Chains A and B, each alone.
Chain A
Amino acid sequence: MTLAQWMPFIVLVPMITSGLVALLPGRNLPWLMTFLAATASTGLSLWVLFGIDAEPLRYAFGNWPPPIGIEYRVDAANAWVAFIVSGIAMAALLWGRVSVHQEIPERQNIFYALFLLALAGLLGITLTGDAFNVFVFLEISSLSTYALIAFGHDRRGLLAAFRYLIMGTIGATFILIGIGFLYMMTGTLNMADLAERIPAVADTNAVRAGFAFIIVGLGLKLALLPLHLWLPNAYAFAPNVITVFLAGTATKVALYVMLRFIYTVFGGDYSFGAVPLATLLMILAIAGMVVGSWVAMFEPNLKRLLAYSSVAQVGYLVLGVSLVSLIGLTATFVHLFNHALMKAALFMALGTVMYRTGSARIEAFYGVGRQMPWTMTAFALAGLSLIGVPTTAGFISKWYLILAAMEAGLAWLVVLILITSFMAVYYIWRVIEAAWFKPAQTDAQGATKVFREAPLALLIPLWIMVALNFYFGLETSLSLGAAEQAAQALLGAFK
């Protein structure tokens, strides 16, 4: 079998395994199968990432040649995103086994089956070359995500899931309307075919409306301010392993689809020429960066704090897009990876503390730094990466974003990036201060609460993630190389 024939298995392995996992008894067996499936996807996507050259890999399902059949079409951009998604899923699972035992004592097989469905959905969105298929996979991943968010014992997770369901469905339906308009005007759903036929009908209101519906729908999935309202509660009240997984993957995939529609389907000239999209995205990105960081500075619930920080990070990602240059897009693609690394590490550290203390409120972290030094040191180091201190992965992203802003001649944007980075210093410092400089919590009798250090099963994966944050801050050939290729693949699509 050739690489192009192996490539669909990135999606098929988690999808088929999820049915199997639902039938497995006990607690460790479902976890093991899930982990193996995620590892297989990661391995395959890494292979695809390295094996890819100038021509995209193509696979026609059922041997129906496109545009009649559904086609998977993988270039450097999808391969990179697929690797990030499956890699983060693998890391989240490695960390999550013990955490899930505590948070979801029963029906773990269903939980892991849903996890795999969500993963298969996200990977499917990434690899497919068919616009309607994007919608179907989007709904597969969204529906399983709603259920996963509500899976924990926290009843607020139910409300967060319901509100996410309402907003997510509106977003997905908007995308469906947009795809419908495009289909009416061109009579095709294949992305490459759409790209060929759209120029002939580009100057019609139907295509413009379709474009607007798709961008707004994806903006909702991407949590681009002001469409971010579902995100903080969904992240805050989901089981910790799901927060780690979603923070690194869900919004990234939505951004990738947006880029795919902007550059491949509509073409960059149309997207940024017919509509003032660059200006619009830049305004929303800056608003997201500032508002997200501002709210995070005062948020008492630390999971919500990091969730609002994610809203700010989505701002950075979109800012790279809005600069409409190769280096800006490279910054976006490298930040996709680096943000997944740092947020996964931070949420893992929070989840590790919560494993002992059971609460994400900042008061629950008082004195924890002295009682769980390994966990909180990991949090502090991952926090440095979020801030963008040199030698961390976060620095690389910010550096490229600043280079892109300088190239566009927008010095004030550099100042703004630095200001929001200082806001990140403040909200990370709040956690450090609570953990090391506040007296430890006392119980009702006035005795100091003592928390033991977390088990190694949580600490080892956490420290691996922290180490990766530093590794990819120093050795950037893989992340930057892949990001550059991804950006070139997208930009090349309309040249």
Chain B
Amino acid sequence: MMDVVLSYFNYWVVILLMMIGFYGVIAHGNMDKKLMALGLFQTSVFILFISAGKVIGGATPVIRDGVSVFSNPLPHVLILTAIVVGVATTAVGLALAVRINEAYGTIEDDLIGDPSHEPEEP
């Protein structure tokens, strides 16, 4: 039992973080908190990829004498891209939150309500 918990430790962390993030996105009405939770959700996927790249007993993937087993560097490169995407998403989201705050005076989802019910602006 302990073996299962410990040998898949990374994946347990991934699932835990993913669920916390996913719950936060759904449950929070505050747009900043939504974005934070979204960041957590995305980060958990980064750990999932990175964990898959680790080869037990593998060294850093630089060719040198006396080393024959290397960890897989590709997931790191993929996640570098995904991190950039994540940063861009957070930036666009925060920029929108700033504009929403200017337009509505709040970033609480519950206080704004459904935009389709809003009366037409003149």
Residues of A with Cβ closer than 8 Å to B?
132, 135-136, 139, 143, 146-147, 150, 154-156, 158-162, 165-166, 169-170, 172-173, 176-177, 180, 183-184, 189, 232-233, 236-237, 301, 304, 359, 361
A169–B88 touching, CB < 8 Å: no
Cα of A361 to Cα of B118 in the assembled complex, Å = 12
Cα of A223 to Cα of B42 in the assembled complex, Å = 21
Q: Which residues of A contact B103 (CB under 8 A)?
A: 155, 158
A162–B96 touching, CB < 8 Å: yes
A180–B89 touching, CB < 8 Å: no
Interface check B60, CB cutoff 8 A: no
Q: Which of A143, A154, A155, A176 contacts B88 (CB 8 A)?
A: A143
Q: Which of A160, A177, A184, A359 contacts B120 (CB 8 A)?
A: A359
A378 to chain B, nearest CB (A): 24
**Contacts A158-B103, A183-B52 given; does A304 touch B116 at CB 8 Å:** yes
Q: Which of B25, B115, B121 contacts A166 (CB 8 A)?
A: B25
**Contacts A143-B88, A154-B121, A166-B25 given; does A177 touch B116 at CB 8 Å:** no
A150–B115 touching, CB < 8 Å: no
A361–B120 touching, CB < 8 Å: yes
Interface check B48, CB cutoff 8 A: yes
Cα of A440 to Cα of B73 in the assembled complex, Å = 68
A159–B115 touching, CB < 8 Å: yes
Q: Digitize B74-110: 1 where CB-to-A-CB distance is under 8 Å, 0 elsewhere.
A: 0100100110010011001100110110011000000
A180–B100 touching, CB < 8 Å: no
A159–B52 touching, CB < 8 Å: no
Q: Which residues of B contact A158 (CB under 8 A)?
A: 96, 99-100, 103
Q: Which residues of B contact A176 (CB under 8 A)?
A: 45, 82
**Contacts A173-B42, A180-B49 given; does A161 touch B82 at CB 8 Å:** no
Q: Which of B38, B85, B97, B121 contacts A170 (CB 8 A)?
A: B38
A143–B116 touching, CB < 8 Å: no
Q: Given A162-B100, A166-B25, A361-B120, 12 more contacts at CB 8 Å?
A: A132-B78, A135-B85, A136-B85, A139-B89, A143-B85, A154-B121, A158-B100, A162-B31, A170-B22, A180-B52, A189-B78, A359-B120
Chain B's closest residue to A184 (CB) is: B52
Cα of A143 to Cα of B94 in the assembled complex, Å = 13
A320 to chain B, nearest CB (A): 30
B100–A159 touching, CB < 8 Å: yes
Cα of A27 to Cα of B25 in the assembled complex, Å = 39
In this complex, how many residues of chain B approach chain A with their Cβ under 8 Å: the count is: 32
Q: Digitize B26-69: 1 where CB-to-A-CB distance is under 8 Å, 0 elsewhere.
A: 00000100100010011001001100100000000000000000
Cα of A152 to Cα of B95 in the assembled complex, Å = 15
B96–A161 touching, CB < 8 Å: yes
Cα of A232 to Cα of B81 in the assembled complex, Å = 31
**Contacts A143-B88, A143-B89, A304-B116 given; does A170 touch B25 at CB 8 Å:** yes
Residues of B with Cβ closer than 8 Å to A?
22, 25, 31, 34, 38, 41-42, 45, 48-49, 52, 75, 78, 81-82, 85, 88-89, 92-93, 96-97, 99-100, 103-104, 112, 115-116, 118, 120-121
Can you list the 4 inter-chain pairs with the closest CB atoms, starting with the nearest? A156-B115, A155-B103, A139-B85, A162-B96
B116–A180 touching, CB < 8 Å: no
B41–A173 touching, CB < 8 Å: yes
B120 to chain A, nearest CB (A): 6
Q: Which residues of B contact A172 (CB under 8 A)?
A: 85
Query: What are 7 A-B residue pairs whose CB atoms fall within 8 Å in the complex?
Result: A132-B81, A155-B121, A156-B118, A158-B100, A184-B52, A304-B116, A361-B120
Cα of A451 to Cα of B50 in the assembled complex, Å = 61
Cα of A361 to Cα of B120 in the assembled complex, Å = 8
A169–B115 touching, CB < 8 Å: no
Cα of A139 to Cα of B75 in the assembled complex, Å = 18
A147–B92 touching, CB < 8 Å: yes
B115–A183 touching, CB < 8 Å: no
Cα of A232 to Cα of B115 in the assembled complex, Å = 11
B34–A143 touching, CB < 8 Å: no
Cα of A158 to Cα of B78 in the assembled complex, Å = 31
Cα of A143 to Cα of B93 in the assembled complex, Å = 9
B89 to chain A, nearest CB (A): 5
Chain A's closest residue to B101 (CB) is: A158
A304 to chain B, nearest CB (A): 6
B54 to chain A, nearest CB (A): 11
Residue of A135, A173, A177 ringed by the most chain B CB atoms within 10 A: A173
Chain B's closest residue to A300 (CB) is: B116
Q: Which of A161, A166, A180 contacts B34 (CB 8 A)?
A: A166
Cα of A441 to Cα of B103 in the assembled complex, Å = 29
**Contacts A170-B41, A173-B45, A180-B49 given; does A159 touch B112 at CB 8 Å:** yes
Cα of A170 to Cα of B93 in the assembled complex, Å = 13
A254 to chain B, nearest CB (A): 17
A232–B116 touching, CB < 8 Å: yes
Q: Which residues of A contact B116 (CB under 8 A)?
A: 156, 232-233, 236, 301, 304
Q: Which residues of A contact B88 (CB under 8 A)?
A: 139, 143
A57 to chain B, nearest CB (A): 25
A146–B92 touching, CB < 8 Å: yes
